[in-house]
Structures are given as structure tokens and as C-alpha cells.
Amino acid sequence: MQATEQAKLTATLKDPQASIFAKAKACQRLAVIGDERAVPAIAPLLSDEKLSVYARFALEPMPGQAPDNALKSALPNLQGNLLIGAINSLANRRSPHSIDAVSKYVHDKDPAVARAAMEAMAKLRPPL
């Protein structure tokens, strides 16, 4: 049942005719039932000004490495608040595999990005 629902939700995300509201609701539901199969449909939304927060909301609780990989892959294509959001999502997922990707932004020219990266590193680094 959930596989069928997930397939319908990912189809909504891929549908260019679907409203922002429908895509936002699909991401919210995928945060509850989604798995790695939904990541390819969610990942493109990370660069969408209106839907990136919903995409991150869907990816953060998902099990597996695919959500981390999607967030890390998006980083070079993001800036400002979208970049900060993706960095924060990686920190919230607490994946040590994200340290290298996030550390590149510790000295970013945007002080807000640099601060977000430093705070994320504190969450990502293993305790001493």
C-alpha cells in the first residue's frame, strides 16, 4: 500500500502541471512514508525557492545514504538561504559522511553560510 502511495506522490513531484501546494503536501507525506526510491523525485526541488524547505523536510527523516547524497550533490548549485538550508539538513541527519562536503563552506564569502557550515561541523564531527 505504501509503495503505491509513494509512487503517486513521486509522480506528483515530477508533474510540471502539479501545483506548488500539491508538491508541498507530497513532500510532507513522503517525510512519513518515503524511502530512498523517492529521493530522485525530491532532489530537484532542493533548488526551488518555494519548495526547497519541503524537499529538505522530506529528506531529513529518510533512512539510508541516498538523502545524504542528494543533499551533498545539491550544495555546489545552491546559494544563500537554500545553501544554508541544505547544510542544516545534512547536520540534522548527523551523517559523518557529510563532513567533507560541509567543511568546504566553513570559509565561504557569505558569513551566514560560513556560520551554518561551522555549526553543522559541530554536529557532524564525532565526539573526542
Q: What is the pLDDT of residues 80-108, one digit of tens each?
A: 999 999 999 999 999 888 999 999 999 99
Q: How much is the average pLDDT of 40-65?
A: 97
State the residue range of the domain holding 27.
1-63
Query: Does one domain contain both 35 and 90?
Result: no
- 63 burial (CB, 10 Å; 0-12 / 13-18 / 19+) is exposed
Query: Does one domain contain both 43 and 99?
Result: no
Q: pTM value?
A: 0.92
Q: What value, to the nearest 5°, has the Cα angle with vertex 122 and ends 78 and 83?
A: 10
Domain count, the chain: 2
Q: In sequence order, which residues have a C-beta less than 8 Å from that of residue 30 and are 6 or more positions away?
A: 6, 9, 10, 38, 42, 58, 62
